Amino acid sequence: MSDTPFYLIDEARLRENMRKIERLRERSGAKALLALKCFATWSAFDIMKPYMDGTTSSSLFELHLGREKFGKETHAYSVAWADGEIDEAIGYADKIIFNSLSQLDRFGDKAAHIERGLRLNPRFSTSGFDLADPARPFSRLGEWDAERLEAAMDRISGVMIHYNCENADFALFDHQLSRIEAEFGDILKRLKWVSLGGGIHFTGDDYPLDALADRLKKFSEDFDVQAYLEPGEASITQTASLEVTVLDILDNGKKIAIVDSSIEAHMLDLLIYRETAKLPQQGEYEYQIAGKTCLAGDIFGEARFDKPLEIGDRISIADAAGYTMVKKNWFNGVAMPAIAIRREDGNIDRIRDFTYEDYRASLS
């Protein structure tokens, strides 16, 4: 397979993460739902379904995709459901989670035939970036006032508490869960289920998975609830690369390699959070890797190679599954990367190419 750019999902690496999720589920009794806001490449769902319990969504379209392509248990969440969405949403969902008491008041009766929940905001999180912090001042994400939560108790069977963000520190997770137990324990013990959201980096190297499983089990037993996790990044971390080709090499005081991709169009999260792509770092030959759009800051980052780059060379940008394919866009009309899967036998299946007709159809 030679035509770049393309996202390359590694089936063997994905299955490694899935086995960690399976181990966590079996030891803890918690259920795991794939967070589609992070990864919704449904051609990989057949690999993931045996190891997970279903999906969780942030919009009507994600919800529809989860029901249609993943199946199993389907949780529906939205910051705000619209009048024109709610009937369709409750047709796909096993559980619907309202962001606010006012949304529950507005739509709760329509959803009475399925399990209803509410988002609980504990007013703290592990996020170090204001843009992603659900507990930022004046946050619109969930209810925290005890009286407002109490007003919902006769209509809900569970809550979702999303407060972790790339949290690889088990001690911090344990501490913050203890705070939630202390502050909201009277509410939790009256529920059937509690989702602790995503953002726990438990498939990372050296994470104390068994300790997390035991803590989740204790939480479930202490409050007699079914615990859920919503792993997005944890499901697919280190499972894919973005394969690109060098188109040109410049030297404007430093060597710059222009590739047939774009950080704004194909790895937007890196631009939003001002992070550097995971590029090769072996060798003495240094290059800045840059995208081909007209955006001056379309730069993947600095890389090192063991020999000088030449036009036509291939570069693999690592860890390119989460928040990439779900955010790819047509900025500058740059060709959108294809999607491919490297099977466990080494064969590569090119699943989908995106054409000019796809670009044209995205507009009017």
pLDDT tens, residue by residue, 96-132: 999 999 999 999 999 999 999 999 999 999 998 889 9
Q: CA-to-CA distance for 341 and 12, rounded, in angstroms?
A: 10
Query: What value does the mean pLDDT take over residues 302-321?
Result: 98
Distance CA 23, CA 28 (A): 8
Quickly state the pLDDT bin for 293 (edges 50, 70, 90).
very high
Burial of 348 (0-12, 13-18, 19+ CB in 10 A): middle
321: alpha, beta or left, given left = phi > 0 and alpha = psi -120 to 50? alpha
Please say if the pLDDT value at position 216 is more than 50.
yes
**Mean pLDDT value of segment 53-76:** 98
- Percent of the chain past pLDDT 70, that is, above it, reads 99
pLDDT of residue 1: 46
Per-residue confidence band for 362, with pLDDT thresholds at 50, 70 and 90:
very high
Work out the mean pLDDT of the chain and round it to a whole number.
Answer: 97
Instruction: Reply yes or no on whether the pLDDT at 335 is more than 90.
Output: yes
Q: Which residue has the tokens 């059937």?
A: 192
Return the ∠ at Cα 53 (arms to 48 and 54), rounded to 5°.
80
Say if CB 212 and CB 202 are below 8 A apart.
yes
Q: Would you say 266 and 300 are in contact if contact means Cβ atoms under 8 Å apart?
A: no
Q: What is the pLDDT of residue 129?
A: 85
Six token digits for residue 28: 């803890």
160-198 per-residue burial string, b: 16 or more CB within 10 A, e: under 16: bbbbbbbbbebeebeebbeebeeebeebbeebebbbbbb
CA dihedral sign of residues 320, 326, 327, 328: positive
Q: What phi, psi does 196 have (nearest 5°)? A: -95, 15
The confidence score (pLDDT) of residue 271 equals 95
State pLDDT tens for residues 139-198.
999 999 989 999 999 999 999 999 999 899 999 999 999 999 999 999 999 999 999 999
- What backbone torsions phi and psi does residue 259 show, to the nearest 5 degrees? -115, 170
- pLDDT for the residue numbered 2: 62
pTM for the model stands at: 0.96
Spatial CA neighbour of 340 closest among 350, 325, 327 = 350
CA-nearest of 63, 55, 50 to 21 is: 50
Q: What is the mean pLDDT of residues 287-311?
A: 98
